[in-house]
Structure 1
Amino acid sequence: MPLGALRPSPLVEQATQHLRDQITEGHWAVGTKLPGETTLAKTLGVGRSTVREALRALAGAGLVQARQGAGVFVIAAEPEEDWPTRLRRAAVTDVYEVRMLIEVEAAQVAAQRRTDDDLTVLHTAMDRRRQAANASDAEFVDADVALHAAVVAAAHNPVLTGLFAEFVPVLRKGLIDLVELLNLRAGDPNHGDAGHAALVDAIARGDAEAAGRSLREELTRTLAQLHAM
């Protein structure tokens, strides 16, 4: 696709897209030095500041790299995927393994840091999970995820909370598929109640070891079922 003058409307985005297309379509191969800012600005019909912002965006996507005194070079033919995109494309079993590493640790920390307010939230989430036993599979999974989110929140670590939130969309879909495909709630609409009750009780007692053990056992069983799907 040849370069051409741009229409006056968000110019940085347009310039970024045109330059990105040149790279991803192979017009500028990996290792190629890009034309200078002045040349690009003239070709695209924009100012140098617009070209500079576009190059910065391409560098952020992992496509180009500025080398001091040498210029800007193409370092990849495809942009790097952001974290949410990687999670959406990942196998649910891979996501679940990472979830186990994060959430078991969070449960242990939660047992040490939980407040009275956290315990109120946990017991409320546990009650709602039990109430959802009479609801649809999707509603039951949502209540289950909400309980686990409450456990992570009780660790009072914003990084852990943020990581878990990133996993939730992929986990939710995988768990709904698991419950529906294996018909897990056919004989027990409140599937996993005992394990979750033990988890909440361990956190309430401040028993970090028991909290981590209860959650690890619960998640290990679920992961085995996901692998078997």
Structure 2
Amino acid sequence: MIPLRPSPLAEQASARIEEQIRAGQWPVGGKLPGEVALAKELGVGRSTVREALRTLAAAGMVQSRQGSGVFVTADRPAGDWPARLRRAELAHVYEVRTMVEVQAARLAATRRTAADLTALDAALAARRTAGGADDTVFVDADIALHTALVAAAHNPVLDDLFAQFAPVLREQLVTLVGLFGIRSEDPNQGYDSHAALVRAIHDGDPEAAGRVLAAELEATRSHLLAD
């Protein structure tokens, strides 16, 4: 590698190491050279290398294992998560979506506030009204209901996870609902199960809420992936 020039050295060093990881010089699962070797290759001090590695570790690309060294754990920063979701198969997205939302439903049933219940009722009503609209409007209303559900769990990490899923789900569902004619027989497809979900949250029944949502998501996943 060509030695780096000043300012800011740690940022340049992390960028150069990332480039080499992406290029396959150090594959995922492989071990990086030691600090002394990296410092020599990059033309910087060991403290700069350590700072660069901390930056890459925070991005989820490398991990230090005590007594063993630093290993590559990903070939791109965690910030590329939305891009990875867009490339993922719908079946895989739905599997993870189920893990996230079923737990959110259970939490919502025990943590929901009066404001949350009002928001859920409004979202359910809007979803029912959207049954008379086109697929895009219907999918948007469905996702809005699920967003209100996750918000009622009052867990900011779940909020962030679902926020990453929502745009990908919208894009895929708008296409697939129309392609497979999901709403051809029932424009309000899934309304009864969504109403049962909201009732379970009103009732403060986490087991029922999780069970109803798990069944609904599996039914939708099976329907969409039948072909």
TM range (shorter): 0.7 to 0.9
Residues 133, 190 of structure 1: 8 Å contact kept: yes
Say yes or no: does 1:79 pair with 2:78: no
The aligned runs of 1:96-135 (5 Å cut-off) are 96-135=94-133
- Cα-to-partner distance string for 1:158-210 (whole Å, 9 max, x where unaligned): 33333333322332233223212112223333222222122222322334343
Aligned to 1:56: 54
Aligned to 1:148: 146
- Which has the greater radius of gyration? 1
The aligned runs of 1:20-99 (5 Å cut-off) are 20-22=18-20, 25=23, 30-31=30-31, 33-34=33-34, 36=36, 40=39, 44=42, 46=44, 49-60=47-58, 61-63=60-62, 65=64, 73=69, 75-76=71-72, 79=75, 82=78, 84=81, 86-99=84-97
Structure 1 segments unaligned to the other structure (5+ residues): none
Q: Could you state the TM-score of these two structures normalised by the residue count of structure 2?
A: 0.76
Say yes or no: does 1:219 pair with 2:217: yes
Larger deviation: 193-202 or 78-87? 78-87
Q: Distance in 1 between matches of 2:32 and 2:209?
A: 55
Change (3 A) 1:21 1:222: same
Q: Distance in 2 between matches of 1:134 and 1:97?
A: 29
What is the percentage of aligned positions where both structures have the same residue?
Answer: 51
Change (3 A) 1:7 1:224: same
Larger deviation: 92-101 or 55-64? 55-64
SS, match of residue 185 in structure 1: coil
Q: 1:17 aligns with which of 6, 15, 18?
A: 15
1:119 deviates by 1.1
Residues 28, 74 of structure 1: 8 Å contact kept: no
Q: Could you state the TM-score of these two structures normalised by the residue count of structure 1?
A: 0.76
Task: Count residues with an aligned counterpart.
Answer: 222
SS, match of residue 170 in structure 1: helix
1:145 deviates by 0.9
Change (3 A) 1:155 1:25: closer
Aligned to 1:195: 193
Change (3 A) 1:212 1:25: closer
Change (3 A) 1:211 1:90: same
Aligned to 1:158: 156
